[in-house]
């Protein structure tokens, strides 16, 4: 099947074949319908891909939010308040430590019996430990 354009004379009423300057010619490509379908399919594929990207982005954002909530400062404080044997200086040191997201994650991830020991070690090795 040829894909070359075909010239169609829309003003064939005179039949003389002469060009009187008013003849209308239209170029018709036999596969133009298929190209439009291909463009639509390509457009649909792009839309589908964009929707998938948007859905993945929403899922990632939700996972980040869950992770942030899991290690939230308020949760760390709640756990800290429930701990036994935390003196005031370590308590307030821990509050400052919870400004660091990595410290919050470590604190919450530790087994409950190790949290106080970890806080004490951080407290004792902090730069201001000598001033206490």
pTM over 0.75: no
Q: How many angstroms separate the Cα of 121 from the Cα of each of 75, 93, 112, 115, 118?
A: 21, 11, 15, 10, 5
| For the chain, percent of residues with pLDDT exceeding 90 | 45
pLDDT at 71 over 70: yes
pLDDT at 13 over 50: no
pLDDT at 22 over 70: no
Cα of 38 vs its chain's centroid, Å:
29
Whether the Cβ atoms of residue 61 and residue 70 lie closer than 8 Å to each other: no
Q: Which two tokens stand for residue 28?
A: 């018709």
Q: How many angstroms separate the Cα of 52 from the Cα of each of 25, 35, 62, 100?
A: 45, 25, 15, 34
At 66, the pLDDT band (50, 70, 90 cuts) reads confident
Query: What's the sign of the alpha-carbon dihedral 59, 64, 70, 74?
Result: negative
Task: Report the alpha-carbon distance of residue 41 to residue 44 in Å, rounded.
Answer: 5
Per-residue pLDDT, averaged over 103-123, amounts to 96
At 5, the pLDDT band (50, 70, 90 cuts) reads low
Q: In a 3-state reduction of DSSP, which class is residue 26? A: strand
Task: Report the alpha-carbon distance of residue 84 to residue 80 in Å, rounded.
Answer: 9
């Amino acid at each position: 099947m040829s894909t070359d354009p075909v010239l169609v004379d829309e003003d064939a009423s005179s039949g003389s074949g002469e060009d009187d300057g008013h003849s209308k010619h239209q170029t018709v490509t036999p596969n133009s319908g298929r190209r439009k379908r291909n463009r639509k399919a390509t457009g649909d594929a792009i839309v589908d891909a964009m929707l998938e990207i948007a859905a993945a982005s929403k899922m990632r954002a939700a996972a980040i939010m869950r992770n942030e909530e899991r290690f939230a400062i308020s949760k760390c404080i709640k756990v800290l308040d429930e701990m036994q044997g935390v003196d005031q200086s370590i308590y307030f040191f821990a509050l400052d430590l919870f400004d660091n997201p990595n410290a919050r994650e470590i604190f919450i991830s530790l087994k409950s019996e190790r949290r106080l020991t970890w806080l004490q070690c951080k407290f004792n090795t902090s730069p201001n430990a000598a001033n206490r």
